[in-house]
Amino acid sequence: MDDERTLTLAEIENARERIRRQLPPTPLRRSFALRPHDVWLKLECWQPTGSFKVRGALHHLVSLAETERRRGVVAASAGNHALGVAWAVQALGGSVPAVLFVPETVPRAKLEKLRSFPVTVRVTGATYDDAYDASLAYAEAAGARYIHPYDDPLTAAGQGTVGLEILEQLPDVGQVVVPVGGGGLMAATAVAVKAKAPGVRIVAVQPAASPSLSESLARGEALHLFPAAPTLADGVAGGIGDLVFRHRALIDEVVNVPESAIEETIVALLAEDQVVAEGAGALAAAALRCGLIAPDGRPVAVVVSGGNIDARHLARLLAARG
Amino acid sequence: MDDERTLTLAEIENARERIRRQLPPTPLRRSFALRPHDVWLKLECWQPTGSFKVRGALHHLVSLAETERRRGVVAASAGNHALGVAWAVQALGGSVPAVLFVPETVPRAKLEKLRSFPVTVRVTGATYDDAYDASLAYAEAAGARYIHPYDDPLTAAGQGTVGLEILEQLPDVGQVVVPVGGGGLMAATAVAVKAKAPGVRIVAVQPAASPSLSESLARGEALHLFPAAPTLADGVAGGIGDLVFRHRALIDEVVNVPESAIEETIVALLAEDQVVAEGAGALAAAALRCGLIAPDGRPVAVVVSGGNIDARHLARLLAARG
């Protein structure tokens, strides 16, 4: 983002009107795994591609002018964002040319999934950064629109519709707990919730292996790059964007969750709630389960952001902890 | 059922009006695991208790007169039906006294789940049949309403709302594939679908270990008791009810799925669709995956009836086949 602009409630409400026909609200369900606490799971892992990313991708695409759509869109991602863009292209009838850059490390299952959508997939470079560079170069050469995964007001406004849904589904909610990667979901959810219900606490969660938000707050600047340690929550490892840093005043608390709590929560959500969460998706629930966040007597909503976990990984976790 | 009455579309449409506020439509999602076939998963495993049983239970309860509700309800079940009744009681504000009889064999996790609802749980007898006898005796003595899990028009009309939702969500559906235990879901779904879209094929699926529907059709009578072999799809093992037998003309095809296909499909749904299905819940998808049903060029909807599978069981399947 090249301006200092913040998001508004109106942008997020507009986004909701534009995407709701294709993306009806995901369920908000009381968790069995987190009882006796009164905790509700916002099941973004049950979106059509298994993550909340479809919201921002669809909103970005429907917001483009006809001429922009005709020139096509470009994205780089090793996972959920690429799937979100691919799904959104399909939801719009396949009429938007889309080129998705993924690194060579992408798991085969994810690659096959991507290729089942009406998009062009380019496997380019050894790392995400290589794929990212290639996607920017391609977008510039082709005059196509680059869809940023989080640091973009159109993408983020779509993600923030999660917050509007939580307030409607659980009007007496007292805390909303959100995992933070680049921070688009966090920023926009905070804007939506604080605008409509200022008394609701907003809690941001990252893995202790990649505490880029609390480090950024401590240093007083957004750390776009962050040397994360290995983590099960690989979907949120790395730096944050400017957008979430600019909205930091809306975040009441930031907690960093240890790996063991993430593992334990993935197994508990599966065993007791029949919910498949990926590492990043289990973060918010893990913060409650390991006692880093205490409910204040009011119901708590935790965003289960995604469910795209490798089955062999899940098998290992279940075998070790089941 | 002590009459020869069949279900009507109007009963199922009425049921839908009565339950839809508390039970919005479950997602119908294109399956990745079953590609290249155009197969859609009706995700009843994502109901609040993890199975479709909440539909029939809630409809039964809201259909009772105020005096009947005050006298209370009784059910016997080792699993999903009891959870359905318990959830429905809670959805109605806990105002209906409910006594649920479960056998001593009930898993502890399920028992704890049941006890988290505003109901009385009685652990009685070594088997389901013992719990069933105790529940009938209690209902008679207490003047309470016995809620039959499948062979009852009020329960079944609730389950049939699945069929109405599928037709709305996928208007060009060509086949609807439904797992059969007692047959309430099967009978009412067939009534709803055939009344509104007579050209849609209706396929019933059972495990090869418990083919009570095809055996009943062969013998010309409903086999209420059936000596099932051990099966992963234990939720549908045993005999069928009179209601489904009375609606047998609406069923175009009955297939019986081998255990290996059920196992393989549970793993595929988890790995490729991030969907947790119990054995019975995976049956309909398994029939397609192992080639017992062939799509005819039109989209196919398969009902994933439930997701309450034991985590240790899932761990074993993943380890063996993942």
Q: Search chain A and give the residue with CA nearest B87.
A: A30
Query: How far is it, in rounded angstroms, from Cα B139 to Cα B73?
Result: 8
Cross-strand bridge partners of residue B203: B177, B253
Structure tokens belonging to residue B128: 């389901």
Give the neighbor-by-neighbor strand order of the sheet with A300-304.
Answer: A28-30, A39-43, A300-304, A175-179, A201-207, A253-257
Q: Is A305 one of the catalytic residues? A: yes
Instruction: Say yes or no for a CB contact (<8 Å) between A276 and B276.
Output: yes
| Neighbouring residues of B37: CB distance < 8 A, sequence distance ≥ 6 | B288, B295, B300
Instruction: Say yes or no for a CB contact (<8 Å) between B314 and A319.
Output: no
DSSP B152-178: SHHHHHHHTHHHHHHHHH-TT--EEEE
pLDDT along chain B (322 residues), means of 10: 80 98 94 94 95 98 96 93 97 94 86 92 90 95 96 98 98 98 98 98 98 98 96 94 98 98 96 94 97 95 95 89 66
Measured CA to CA in angstroms, residue A209 lies from A213, A303, B85 at distances of 12, 20, 44
Q: Pick B274's closest partner by Cβ from A267, A271, A308.
A: A308
Of B182, B219, B222, nearest to B204 (Cα)?
A: B182
Structure tokens belonging to residue A253: 């608390």
Cross-strand bridge partners of residue A304: A43
What pLDDT does residue B1 have? 46
Pairs across A and B, CB distance < 8 A: 69
What pLDDT does residue A3 have? 61
Query: How far is it, in rounded angstroms, from Cα A266 to Cα A275?
Result: 8
Instruction: Say yes or no for a CB contact (<8 Å) between A311 and B318.
Output: yes
Catalytic hit among B42, B53, B113, B194: B53
Query: How far is it, in rounded angstroms, from Cα B27 to Cα B25?
Result: 6
Structure tokens belonging to residue B167: 């037709």
Instruction: Say yes or no for a CB contact (<8 Å) between A32 and B116.
Output: yes
Query: How far is it, in rounded angstroms, from Cα B154 to Cα B8?
Result: 11
Q: Pick A50's closest partner by Cβ from B113, B274, B307.
A: B274
Instruction: Quote the ipTM score.
Output: 0.87
Instruction: Say yes or no for a CB contact (<8 Å) between A32 and B113.
Output: yes
Of B80, B86, B32, B23, nearest to B55 (Cα)?
A: B23
Measured CA to CA in angstroms, residue A8 lies from A12, A187, B87, B104, B134 at distances of 7, 11, 38, 56, 60
Query: How far is it, in rounded angstroms, from Cα A194 to Cα A184?
Result: 15
Measured CA to CA in angstroms, residue B219 lies from A235, B255, B311 at distances of 56, 16, 38
Measured CA to CA in angstroms, residue B180 lies from A66, B207, B239, B280 at distances of 49, 9, 10, 8
Query: How far is it, in rounded angstroms, from Cα B278 to Cα B49?
Result: 13
Give helix A311-321 / helix A259-273 axis angle, nearest 10°: 90
Mean pLDDT value across residues A43-55? 96
How does pLDDT run across A248-293, given as a tens digit for each residue?
A: 999 999 999 999 999 999 999 998 999 999 999 999 999 999 999 9
Q: Is A110 one of the catalytic residues? A: no
pLDDT class for A322, splitting at 50, 70, 90? low
Of A270, A241, A316, nearest to A7 (Cα)?
A: A241
Cross-strand bridge partners of residue B177: B203, B302
Q: Hey, how many other C-beta atoms are within 10 angstroms of the C-beta on A70? A: 12
**CA of A271, closest CA in chain B: separation in Å?**
5
How does pLDDT run across B12-25, given as a tens digit for each residue?
A: 999 999 999 999 99
Q: Search chain B and give the residue with CA nearest A273.
A: B50
Q: Pick B319's closest partner by Cβ from A27, A109, A319.
A: A319
Q: SS3 for chain A, per residue? A: CCCCCCCCHHHHHHHHHHHCCCCCCCCEEECCCCCCCCEEEEEHHHCCCCECHHHHHHHHHHHCCHHHHHHCEEEECCCHHHHHHHHHHHHCCCCCCEEEEECCCCCHHHHHHHHCCCCEEEECCCCHHHHHHHHHHHHHHHCCEECCCCCCHHHHHHHCHHHHHHHHHCCCCCEEEEECCCCHHHHHHHHHHHHHCCCCEEEEEEECCCCHHHHHHHHCCCCCCCCCCCCCCHHHCCCCCHHHHHCHHHCCEEEEECHHHHHHHHHHHHHHHCCCCCHHHHHHHHHHHCCCCCCCCCCEEEEECECCCCHHHHHHHHHHHC
Cβ proximity of B226 and B239 under 8 Å:
yes
What pLDDT does residue B322 have? 59
How does pLDDT run across B43-99, given as a tens digit for each residue?
A: 999 999 999 999 999 999 999 999 999 999 999 997 899 999 999 999 999 889 999
Q: Pick A45's closest partner by Cβ from B272, B274, B311.
A: B274
SS3 category, B121: strand
Cross-strand bridge partners of residue B178: B204
Instruction: Say yes or no for a CB contact (<8 Å) between A274 and B307.
Output: yes
Of B134, B136, B82, B131, nearest to B111 (Cα)?
A: B82
Residue A28's Cβ-count burial label (10 Å; 0-12, 13-18, 19+) is buried
pLDDT class for A1, splitting at 50, 70, 90? very low
pLDDT, chain A, mean: 95
Q: Give the rounded percent of residues in chain A with a pLDDT score beyond 70.
A: 99
Least confident of A3-7, A22-26, A79-83, B40-44: A3-7
Q: Hey, how many other C-beta atoms are within 10 angstroms of the C-beta on A296? A: 9
Cβ proximity of B299 and B172 under 8 Å:
yes
Instruction: Say yes or no for a CB contact (<8 Å) between A274 and B32.
Output: no
In chain B, residues with a C-beta closer than 8 Å to the C-beta of A113 are: 32, 272
Cβ proximity of A289 and A34 under 8 Å:
yes
In chain A, residues with a C-beta closer than 8 Å to the C-beta of B52 are: none
pTM of the model: 0.93
Residue B299, φ and ψ in degrees, nearest 5: -60, 150
Catalytic hit among B31, B135, B210, B305: B305
Q: Pick B311's closest partner by Cβ from A30, A43, A271.
A: A271
Cβ proximity of B99 and B82 under 8 Å:
no
pLDDT class for A215, splitting at 50, 70, 90? very high
Q: Hey, how many other C-beta atoms are within 10 angstroms of the C-beta on B194? A: 21
Catalytic hit among A31, A42, A51, A53: A53
Q: What is the CA radius of gyration of chain A?
A: 18
Q: Give the rounded percent of residues in chain A with a pLDDT score beyond 90.
A: 88
pLDDT class for A71, splitting at 50, 70, 90? very high
What DSSP designation does B103 have? -
**CA of B242, closest CA in chain A: separation in Å?**
32
